[in-house]
Amino acid sequence: MKALRWSLGLVGDLLVTAGALLLLFVAWQLWWTDVTANRVQGDTVHALTRDFGTGRSTPASETPRAVPFGEAFAILRIPRLGADYARPVLEGTSLDILQEGVGHYTGTAGPGAVGNFAVAGHRTTYGRPFHDIDRLRPGDKIVVETAQAYSVYVVRRHEIVDPTAVRVIAPVPDKPGAKPTGRWMTMTACHPKYSAAQRYVVFAELDRTYPRAKGLPVGTLAAPKGD
């Protein structure tokens, strides 16, 4: 009987220890990855801003070069998500790339181009750039800043789909095989929060492109009223 009590006590201690380790792991996933990712993504945004301002990227008069896989090439700004919201956009959507910012679906259109500029971002962990994607409303502005220009998109609608619904990133969103004539942007993130069961998708349409040399009109990045 004494041996049994000792064994049960040992098992209990092991379970408590395992629970504590699990809680620490969850804390690391939900908090520490945000801390480190926010720092890395902030540094990338600063580097891009510096390069864009000094002309170290492709000049506006030249055709934009193909972006190598994993390289940051744009800054995403969403006034609805805060005046200081700025996230780097990198080429590709692999897990390691999404830890460093917003990922551009390879093969989809570039910023401001005819077709569908499609991107993905984490909703939890690793800086969670699309944590509040569900707050976006029709009419909200989304600004994609590159070395050449500012592409200003306007949110039109959203939908919730299965993870296999790749039709949302087709050149004409939701219409695979259709010939694109418009200029769209599609944002995808896991849904609901803390789950990957579905995808929350926001569709935005290009409103205007401004040459970088001229800058953005005053008020473009102002936070919209209402929630």
Give a yes or no: residue 162 inside a domain. Answer: yes
The mean pLDDT of the chain is: 87
Q: Is 191 a catalytic residue?
A: no
Who wins on pLDDT, 65 or 205? 205
Residue type, 167: R
Please choose, from the candidates 75, 80, 90, 91, the residue with its C-alpha nearest in 3D space to the C-alpha of residue 151: 75
CB 206 within 8 A of CB 151: yes
Q: Is 156 a catalytic residue?
A: no
pLDDT of 34 over the 90 cut: no
Give a yes or no: residue 201 inside a domain. Answer: yes
From 77, 183, 190, 212, active-site residue: 190
Give a yes or no: residue 26 inside a domain. Answer: no
Question: How is residue 99 written in tokens?
Answer: 């830890």
Q: Is 104 a catalytic residue?
A: no
Please choose, from the candidates 178, 187, 184, the residue with its C-alpha nearest in 3D space to the C-alpha of residue 158: 187
pTM, two decimals, is 0.84
Lowest mean pLDDT among 12-21, 118-127, 140-149, 208-217: 12-21
Lowest mean pLDDT among 23-27, 105-109, 150-154, 221-225: 23-27
Task: Give the model's pLDDT for residue 11.
Answer: 53
CB 142 within 8 A of CB 86: no
The answer to whether the bond into 192 is cis (omega within 30° of 0) is yes
Nearest-angstrom CA–CA distance, 217 and 113: 21
Give a yes or no: residue 222 inside a domain. Answer: no
Domain limits for position 141: 31-211
Task: Give the model's pLDDT for residue 12.
Answer: 54
From 104, 183, 191, 199, active-site residue: 199
Give a yes or no: residue 86 inside a domain. Answer: yes
**Structural domain tally of the chain?**
1
pLDDT band at 87 (very low <50, low <70, confident <90, very high): very high
From 87, 104, 122, 128, active-site residue: 122
Q: Tell me which residue has tokens 């926010």.
A: 38
Nearest-angstrom CA–CA distance, 168 and 184: 11
Give a yes or no: residue 223 inside a domain. Answer: no
Encode pLDDT of 134-167 as tens digits.
999 999 999 999 999 999 999 999 999 999 999 9
pLDDT band at 61 (very low <50, low <70, confident <90, very high): very low
Question: The CATH number of the domain where 46 resides is what?
Answer: 2.40.260.10
Who wins on pLDDT, 6 or 165? 165
